A and B are shown apart, each in its own frame.
Chain A
């Protein structure tokens, strides 16, 4: 097996999509001034809800929608805590992560009466889409075609988010709220509505990320299956400076490094350093990047500045 063969890149692209989706969701929140540490919980909620939806409806489409819905409900809880009750968003995010971890495991027991994982061979996962013309193209064809629909949705979402932020009026106002909430209020912008809207949007994206996890490769839900991806998404968001295109880049970086680490295991080389690379890069980037999205405004800490 070669190190960097085609299957490597295809699996990398597949692994990127949940991170990309969640990072985009996180960027929405960050741009409106809320640092959402609860992405992990939101993705997990989506993954679980998607499996539940699939089981009861038999339709993959419904499953994905239910996945999004599940995540949106949790994100509304987060929004309520952070916006209405002015809880520290970081603590609230951490609480959400714990809560969802516990609830989904509970759900496994309560709904499916299993422990550890739920798998039903009758459930269909997301189909692999073969794009007619493109799949014919020699190398790139194999790369671009044949993925689950949510993979394409992820990249589409990045483009849509870019258009949203920089071409629409509502997106413009969302950015304004994150940059200077006081000024936005003085202008009469509907700050609270925009914030809740961003949170719901984040919920939808994370829900899709979760659906990709539980339906995209093997149709199954495992306890805690997000395995830290929510935090990787957070870091990808930071490295990408909460900019949709930047996030595509940083997610690609993470996805590649992730896939590389797994490949390297086959060569018994220390994988930790490749796994570390994206984080080290992000740290260095922090020295130079001034505009870290809206994180700087609302991470809520004092400092000696």
Chain B
């Protein structure tokens, strides 16, 4: 009986995001027909682009990897009730720190990898913690400070790879670090395919995060803080402490997004390689779609990545531009956020009536 109820609750929580996805796909269909292509054909190509064969499936998973990390990081922040908009900056700082660590730390490959992972996590975490500290100590709004710190982080990383740590080996002056020693590479999961160990690490993190949030005291404190900070304080939870370590973890995991891309995919830090694909925004959407549930976020991230790789397939094989993914994503999120608030608003109203009047 309990299992049945759990399934029911799971299904009902998926109704909203699924409806939004449906509306998104419908909008996409409209756009496709305006361009003059056949809707069914085009969507089939999209499916093939994402999942058509093993190569594409792994490409989708590879693209999903940084998105999963960012989504997870943001999920923690949202659960704690804060809007961390700084995932992009945290990711980039994590990436460049990891690249530098892997390049300059002596020792066998495994040491390089571990130190790089730690450096990436720390860099992203500390950058995020900075914003958290400014909020708790100086009441500088997190939303704004994280947004601004993004620019500082991305520009600083850009500086590092255009000047002091620039790859001077080739003839062209590129804004990137030298390539990492092969020992420091995260292995690919399948020969010839782009997906690497980072994907596994991402999934592992998703599971760990789910367990922590659900089953540990720390997770409980984070969730209660997000649900009702007054309740949290009343019960003895140290709001500042929880906020700060949530921000740190959030930024750290975002930092891992960049780290894993560097160690497993690009083997160097290249300016713009993390920002142009819009990983940060997509990760945000994944967390929103899944209502900050870690496992759901991972699934949503893979879905969104599939949308994007599928769109690339569309671009290659049809007249439809890959930006259709943006259209679908935009509509999707718009409907998710509007619906979520309609429901929640209804419940709030009901709660008001339960209180009764004065």
- A residues lining the B interface (CB < 8 Å): 35, 77, 81, 85-88, 90-92, 94-103, 105-106, 108-110, 115, 223, 231, 234-235, 238, 270, 272-273, 275-276, 279-280, 282-283, 286-287, 292, 295-296, 299-305
Q: A105-B326, A276-B156, A280-B152 are in contact. Are A85 and B81 (CB under 8 A)?
A: no
Tell me which of A91, A270, A273, A301 contacts B81 (CB under 8 A).
A301
If A238-B144, A299-B143, A300-B83 touch, whether A287 touches B138 (CB-CB below 8 Å) is yes
Listed by A's residue number, 12 A-B pairs whose Cβ atoms lie within 8 Å are: A81-B337, A91-B333, A98-B281, A99-B334, A101-B326, A106-B324, A109-B319, A272-B156, A282-B148, A299-B144, A303-B243, A304-B240
- Residue B52 CB within 8 A of the other chain: no
Q: How large is the interface on B (under 10, 10 to 19, 20 to 34, 35 or more residues)?
A: 35 or more
- Contact flag A283-B331 (CB < 8 Å), given A86-B341, A304-B136: no
**A180–B135 Cα gap in the complex (Å)?**
23
Q: How far is the CA of A256 from the CA of B39 in the complex (A)?
A: 48
User: From DSSP, what is the main secondary structure of chain A's interface residues?
Assistant: helix
Q: Contacting chain A: which of B158-166, B186-194, B200-208?
A: B158-166
Given A87-B341, A275-B155, A301-B141, check contact A235 B148 (CB 8 Å).
Answer: yes
Question: Once the chains bind, are B82 and A303 in contact (CB under 8 Å)?
Answer: yes
Find out whether the CB atom of B81 lies under 8 angstroms from the CB atom of A302.
Answer: yes
Please, which residue of chain B has its CB at the minimum distance from the CB of A261? B155
Contacts A95-B330, A99-B326, A299-B143 known; 19 new A-B pairs at CB < 8 A: A81-B337, A94-B281, A97-B330, A98-B326, A98-B333, A102-B330, A106-B323, A106-B327, A238-B144, A272-B155, A279-B149, A283-B149, A295-B141, A300-B83, A301-B81, A304-B135, A304-B136, A304-B239, A305-B139
Q: How far, in whole Å, are A183 and B50 apart by their CA atoms in the complex?
A: 52
As a 0/1 sequence over residues 29 to 67 of chain B, the CB contacts with chain A under 8 angstroms (1 = contact) are 001001100000000000000000000000000000000
Q: Which residues of A contact B147 (CB under 8 A)?
A: 231, 234-235
Chain A residues, CB < 8 A from B326: 98-99, 101-102, 105
Query: Which single residue of chain B is at the shortest CB-CB distance from A283?
Result: B148
List B contacts of A95 (CB < 8 A). 329-334, 337
- Which residues of chain B are near A90, meaning CB under 8 Å? 83, 85, 143
Contact indicator B162/A272 (Cβ below 8 Å):
yes
Q: Is the CB of A270 within 8 A of B156?
A: no
Shortest beta-carbon distance from B229 to chain A in Å: 6
Say whether B143 contacts A301, CB under 8 Å.
Answer: yes
B136 A286 Cβ-Cβ under 8 A: no
Q: How far is the CB of B226 from chain A (nearest CB, A)?
A: 7
